[in-house]
């Protein structure tokens, strides 16, 4: 099984992954301004306990917290040509890459793993925003393609955590080509009858949304995540007016029909496992009280929409 390169144990991983950073001992909640002790945040998956604000989380921490007991097999990412365009802006692209690698100790922006979530085996692939804004270049694209291919080979569902500013401009057209390339890979997964769940995290914008991030069977978003094709600044410059409150946020997208649900990071495992087990028709004992809860939520949503629907009726 050559796709296994290392078998990560939670405790070892946490010792390796987290260095002492005394200057970051206390972290400020961007919403309330409250100072939170970093250990408390880490233990709460970087969700601020009092406000529920979701901070960014590294790909490693994400996978560790997602899989049962934090155990998963890392999927080896394919090698790609580095800096195919010999790109240079104010700095060399190769220098930027080297810095990003040093900062994240990742090879590029995507990390994938195979493991179990509430007992269900699946492939999870995660974009890390800390690596050049999670930008999609050849390495990330190829890693995503490999993740889908692995899922198809092993007949497993795939969960993708999106976090990206968009295409990696330093790879030019080859970056744009990752849109169709990843789309081919996910279409093959769907044709194999396997579920594909997208979790949209903060932020997911640009070319990534115009491909795999918006082609899931189910779209889940983390609270408050910025999700959109064009960035807010570009839109403001184009239309020269202020954007509406909450524009392009997770809840806004749910209300406009682009996202199925907004789910707290702390409930992500349970939600995805429940959904996948239903889609894969896994037999479990029925628990009526859970069904009741869902019905209550739905009823509220319907009653919210009712006045508008009634108002429109007389015209018909």
Partner 1 sequence: MYNYLDFEKPVADLEGQILELKKLAESGEAVDVADEIARLEKRSKDALIEIYRSLTPWQKAQVARHPDRPHCLDYVRGLFTDFTPLAGDRAYGEDNAVIAGFARFNGESVAVLGQEKGNDTQSRLKHNFGMARPEGYRKAVRVMDLADRFGIPLISIVDTTGAYPGIGAEERGQAEAIAQSTSRSLGLKVPNIAVVIGEGGSGGAIAIATANQVYMLEHSIYSVISPEGAASILWRDASRAKDAATNMKITAQDLMNLKVIDGIIPEPIGGAHRGPEKVLEATAAQIEKGFAELSGKEMDYREHRREKFLAIGRTL
The contact set with partner 1 (CB under 8 A) reads 80-81, 84-85, 87-90, 138, 141-142, 145, 167, 169-177, 179-181, 183-185, 187-188, 206-207, 209-215, 228-230, 234-235, 238-239, 243-244, 247-248, 256-258
Whose Cβ is closer to partner 1: residue 14's or residue 183's?
A: 183
Whose Cβ is closer to partner 1: residue 12's or residue 81's?
A: 81
State the nearest-atom distance from the C-beta of 64 to partner 1, in Å: 29
Tokens 């945040």, residue located: 41
Helix, strand, coil proportions of the chain in percent (round to 5)? Answer: 45, 20, 35
Whose Cβ is closer to partner 1: residue 130's or residue 179's?
A: 179
Strands (E), the chain: 4-8, 26-28, 35-37, 72-75, 110-117, 120-127, 158-164, 196-205, 218-221, 227-228, 261-262
Q: Do the beta carbons of residue 160 and residue 197 sit within 8 Å?
A: yes
Task: Tell which residue, 185, 300, 201, has the closest CA to residue 259.
Answer: 201
Question: Residue 68 burial by CB count (10 A; 0-12/13-18/19+): exposed, middle or buried?
Answer: middle
Whose Cβ is closer to partner 1: residue 58's or residue 112's?
A: 112
Strands (E), 140-179: 158-164
State the nearest-atom distance from the C-beta of 103 to partner 1, in Å: 19
State the nearest-atom distance from the C-beta of 146 to partner 1, in Å: 11
Structure tokens at 278: 């239903």
DSSP 67: S
State the nearest-atom distance from the C-beta of 223 to partner 1, in Å: 19
Whose Cβ is closer to partner 1: residue 173's or residue 305's?
A: 173
State the nearest-atom distance from the C-beta of 180 to partner 1, in Å: 5
């Amino acid at each position: 099984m050559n796709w296994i390169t290392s078998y990560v144990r939670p405790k070892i991983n946490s010792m390796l992954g987290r260095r002492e950073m005394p200057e970051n001992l206390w972290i400020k909640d961007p919403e309330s301004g409250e100072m939170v002790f970093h250990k408390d945040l880490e233990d709460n998956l970087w969700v601020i306990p009092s406000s529920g604000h979701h901070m960014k989380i590294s790909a490693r921490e994400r996978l560790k917290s997602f899989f049962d007991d934090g155990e998963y097999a890392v999927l080896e990412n394919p090698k790609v040509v580095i800096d195919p365009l010999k790109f240079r802006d104010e700095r060399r692209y190769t220098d930027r890459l080297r810095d990003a690698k040093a900062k994240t100790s990742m090879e590029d922006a995507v990390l994938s793993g195979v493991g179990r979530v509430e007992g269900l085996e699946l492939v999870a692939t995660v974009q890390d925003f800390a690596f050049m804004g999670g930008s999609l270049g050849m390495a990330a694209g190829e890693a995503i393609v490999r993740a889908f291919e692995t899922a198809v080979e092993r007949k497993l569902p795939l969960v993708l955590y999106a976090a990206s500013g968009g295409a990696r401009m330093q790879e030019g057209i080859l970056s744009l080509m990752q849109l169709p390339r990843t789309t081919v890979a996910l279409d093959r997964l769907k044709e194999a009858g396997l579920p594909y769940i997208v979790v949209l995290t903060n932020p997911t914008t640009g070319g990534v949304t115009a491909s795999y991030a918006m082609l899931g069977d189910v779209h889940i978003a983390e609270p408050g995540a910025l999700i959109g094709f064009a960035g807010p600044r570009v839109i403001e410059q184009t239309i020269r007016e202020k954007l509406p409150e909450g524009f392009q946020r997770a809840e806004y997208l749910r209300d406009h029909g682009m996202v199925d649900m907004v789910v707290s990071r702390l409930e992500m495992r349970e939600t995805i496992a429940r959904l996948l087990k239903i889609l894969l028709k896994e037999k479990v004992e029925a628990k009526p009280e859970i069904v009741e809860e869902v019905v209550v939520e739905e009823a509220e949503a319907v009653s919210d929409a009712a006045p508008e629907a009634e108002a429109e009726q007389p015209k018909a």
